[in-house]
Amino acid sequence: MSKTINVKEYLVALRREMQESHLDAFIIPSQDPHQSEYVADHWKARAWLSGFTGSAGVAVVTADHAGLWTDSRYFIQAEQELKGGPFELHPLKVPHAPEHIDWLLENLPQGSTVGCDGNIFSVAQVNHLRRKLGNKGIRIAYQEDLIGRIWKGRPPLPRDPAFELEESYAGQSRAEKIGLIRQRMKRGEYYLVATLDDIAWALNIRGADVEYNPVCISYLLAGHKTVYWFVHKEKVPAELRQRLKEDGVQLRPYEEMEAFLKELDQDSPVLYDPDSTSINLYEALEEEQWKSSNNLIRPMKAIKNETEVKHIREAMRKDGVALLKLYRWLEAELQNRTVSEYELAQQLAAFRKAQGNYFGESFAAIVGYAANGAIVHYKPEPDTCAAIRPEGILLLDSGGQYRGGTTDITRTTAFGDSTQEQRRNYTLVLKGHIALSRAVFPEGTAGVQLDILARMHLWREGLNYGHGTGHGVGFFLNVHEAPQGFTPNPRGERGETAFLPGMLTSNEPGYYKSGEYGIRIENLELCVEQTSGESGRFFAFEPLTLFPIDLKLAETELLTQEEKGWLNDYHRKVLKELTPLLNDDEHDWLAEKCRSV
């Protein structure tokens, strides 16, 4: 049975449930009860229903329309996956904007009812729906999990074992971290944590419940005497359970989170984050018992301590060696045959695994050859991917999860001849990457103020790219970590958060010519203190990623002396850090790639 036929059958079943529940529309996002970026298969409802497998997007179904909203990173992928099916693509004009709500306002009559699953919709999301749709008298019903009724053979929740991240890696004990959280709570308060990476950081726990993110599906409720961890108990080995108990952490069944809240003393306020707490959990308590709070863990997690930075540097060396072996292998293979994009991704994972302490990819490798490089979040599939030839441009964006850190690197490489246009655009991207990496800025500077440095050279030529310039990166955690980042959007946490020493952030400007090629250059940058004086503290960035930037595509005459100096300094660092780990042939290869310009 074809995917299109399946999707049509699923829609018929969903509309039948909507009619029985008196719903005029139903919203199906790509999210779980923890507001995770990557979700376990159990919660991939939008992908199951629509056939669109991208990580970001929202489906809306009415009696006579099925729409899919996603941003520019996924336009090409969505067009391909929705082709011939009943879902219509609605390209977002602004990334992450809730434009499906505007569509509902325009297309639903007054007095309609819109449904959503209250287990996965956050308090903030439901309140936003109420504000927007309520103006037209449209009601929100969030008690209905319609997808759960019709999804036959739905994957169960994962039961992979949790394990401890030793203090020698984390740099802080579990007891220390719990103490820091309690310092931010008033006497008698509880703090509810739903975000999986925050829980993993607080407990020095890692897991394998979610693809690419080493987290464990759970909730955390921190009190001043006891911390309650709501998790499937069989996932926690006996020895770890005992150590948690010694640190004042009690285990409770994952399914009992809501019931436990209802049993709390009514005089005990519960701090919660409206952006990550589901509306169904919220309704377990009276409204006055809840106390809206900023995320207490995120600002601490974002600043990597000295121990973490030490291990991240080692992870970068491992990653650099793995990439070196991959590109040498690819160059040798291309002399005799083509290599598929999928095979290259598999080979890279094997080289990373050989470095030791490797736990898998930090995201699905983006191996985009020629026109596929213009698909920002392209994922090669074994049966449909392109064959890489000894000509054209290859964009490779990949990352690894090591016990000592999370990596994320993009390189764009030329094989054979390249056009003047390609070289010029590559150099514009490179100039932007260098400008951001060389930035020196006063304390209090946020990502929205720095983003222009990466784009200004492209803008002067009337060019741009549709994604943010950078995101925070976790420590053996989520590759996309809040709060900081580089973005032109002045609204939102990523653009508003001021940089502080210890923050690890990607620097990844790009340019994409649809149907022809893509360019992106990405390093991970550590924020460091540069100087302190009468004008206050000034910060800068140190690139931690260790792999050469392709020089074949660079028009060096377009680079200033300062830009050439940065490039030469960076390549000297790469050569110095990786040389002790290489044999003579590998060193010679690297030395050529790191030659002075």
In Å, how far are 73, 126, 163, 178, 225 from 248, measured between CA atoms?
A: 44, 34, 17, 9, 7
| Residue 43, domain member (yes or no) | yes
* Nearest-angstrom CA–CA distance, 463 and 456: 9
In Å, how far are 36, 117, 141, 147, 348 from 121, measured between CA atoms?
A: 12, 6, 11, 14, 37
> Which of the four pLDDT bands, split at 50, 70 and 90, describes residue 478?
very high
User: Residue 281 has what pLDDT?
Assistant: 97
* Nearest-angstrom CA–CA distance, 499 and 449: 11
Please say if the pLDDT value at position 143 is more than 90. Answer: no
Please say if the pLDDT value at position 551 is more than 80. Answer: yes
Both 309 and 287 in a single domain? no
Closest CA relative to residue 196, chosen from 295, 306, 60: 295
Q: How many residues does the chain have?
A: 597
User: Residue 334 has what pLDDT?
Assistant: 98
Please say if the pLDDT value at position 1 is more than 50. Answer: no
| Residue 397, domain member (yes or no) | yes
Q: What is the CATH number of the domain that holds 520?
A: 3.90.230.10
Please say if the pLDDT value at position 96 is more than 80. Answer: no
Both 188 and 128 in a single domain? no
Average pLDDT over residues 563-575: 99
Both 342 and 482 in a single domain? yes
Number of domains present in the structure of the chain: 3
Type of residue found at 76: I
For residue 488, whether the previous peptide bond is cis, meaning omega lies within 30 degrees of 0, is no
Percent share of the chain, pLDDT over 70: 99
Rg of the Cα atoms in the chain? 25
Q: Which tens digit of pLDDT belongs to each residue from 321-360?
A: 999 999 999 999 999 999 999 999 999 999 999 999 999 9
| Residue 158, domain member (yes or no) | no
Average pLDDT over residues 584-596: 99
User: Residue 2 has what pLDDT?
Assistant: 56
Which residue spans within 254-375 are E strands per DSSP?
A: 270-272, 290-292, 339-340, 358-361, 366-369
| Residue 461, domain member (yes or no) | yes
* Nearest-angstrom CA–CA distance, 371 and 241: 51
Both 182 and 275 in a single domain? yes
DSSP letter assigned to residue 547: S
CB of 14 closer than 8 Å to CB of 61: yes
Both 394 and 264 in a single domain? no
Both 312 and 411 in a single domain? yes
| Residue 157, domain member (yes or no) | no
Average pLDDT over residues 488-507: 96
CB of 316 closer than 8 Å to CB of 324: no
User: Residue 95 has what pLDDT?
Assistant: 66
Please say if the pLDDT value at position 290 is more than 50. Answer: yes
> Which of the four pLDDT bands, split at 50, 70 and 90, describes residue 5?
confident
Closest CA relative to residue 155, chosen from 99, 78, 211: 211
Both 522 and 457 in a single domain? yes
Q: Which of 256, 278, 297 is the last residue of a domain?
A: 297
In Å, how far are 144, 173, 188, 220, 245 from 226, measured between CA atoms?
A: 34, 16, 12, 11, 10
- 3 state DSSP class of 288: helix
Type of residue found at 3: K
Q: What is the CATH number of the domain that holds 245?
A: 3.40.350.10
Q: CA dihedral in degrees (123, 127, 128, 130; nearest 10)?
A: 140
CB burial class (10 A; 0-12, 13-18, 19+) of residue 313?
A: middle
| Residue 494, domain member (yes or no) | yes
Both 307 and 293 in a single domain? no
* Nearest-angstrom CA–CA distance, 202 and 197: 9
Instruction: Return mean pLDDT, the chain.
Output: 96
Both 92 and 172 in a single domain? no
Q: Which of 101, 122, 150 is the last residue of a domain?
A: 150
Average pLDDT over residues 57-72: 95
| Residue 155, domain member (yes or no) | no
Both 44 and 78 in a single domain? yes
Both 400 and 318 in a single domain? yes
Both 472 and 457 in a single domain? yes
CB of 32 closer than 8 Å to CB of 39: yes
Residues 6+ apart with CB under 8 A from 349: 360, 361, 365
| Residue 575, domain member (yes or no) | yes
Closest CA relative to residue 81, chosen from 115, 45, 49: 49
> Which of the four pLDDT bands, split at 50, 70 and 90, describes residue 73?
confident
Containing structural domain, residue 579: 303-593
Q: Which of 150, 180, 213 is the last residue of a domain?
A: 150
